[in-house]
Each structure stands twice: as structure tokens, then as C-alpha cells.
Amino acid sequence: MKIENDKPNPLTGQADALGPAAPIGQASTSNKASTPTDHTDQVTLSVEAQLLKAAADAAAGDPAVRTELVEKMRALLADGKIGTDADQLADSLIDDVLKNP
């Protein structure tokens, strides 16, 4: 698997330079090589990655599609109770946006 970092960072709009990540608690300004005390792999997530993970978790907890409302609207559309007057629909959408910004 090839990992490329030529895409802009979604939070800053700039591409971040690839380089080794410093483990948590270790200063990144240190230039001397250190010998790891244990031989286990570690992954350190950037602040941006942690923020994106939190946003994804929040979005998963609150689905964007309300299935019960979709089914209700499908039934109304099938019965011909909605969807027959485009001007009325547009007015209703505008009124709803103005009432609930």
C-alpha cells in the first residue's frame, strides 16, 4: 500500500511534509537518535486525525438520513399529496429555512 501526502490538509488547506512522528511525550526538537526500550509498534495520531475521528464518531451517532421521515414523504408522494406544485414546494422550503436558520 502506498501512502501519499500530496493532498491538502482539510483543516489548514496546506499539505503537510512527511516525516517521522514523535511519540507522545517526546519533544520533536531532539535530533539525537534514541534506542527504543521495547520492540513493539506504535501509532501516534496527529491532532487533526483525532479531530476527524471525533467528527466521524459524532456523525455516526446521529445519522443524516431520518428513515421514518423519508418513508412518510414517499407515501405522501405516492398518494399525490405532495410533489404536484413546484412553486408551493419552493415557498415552503424558503419559509422553513427562514424559520429555522
**Distance from C-alpha of 44 to C-alpha of 54, rounded to nearest angstrom:** 16
- Quote the pLDDT of residue 14: 57
Cell digits for 13?
488547506
pLDDT at 50: 92
Reading the chain (101 residues) residue by residue, the pLDDT tens digits are: 556 666 665 665 555 555 555 555 555 455 555 555 667 898 898 999 999 999 888 878 776 778 899 999 999 999 988 888 889 889 988 999 999 87
Residue 68 CA to residue 47 CA, distance in Å, equals 37
Query: Distance (Å, rounded) from C-alpha 101 to C-alpha 92?
Result: 14
3-state secondary structure of 40: coil
Alpha-carbon dihedral angle through residues 77, 80, 82, 83, given to the nearest 10 degrees: 80
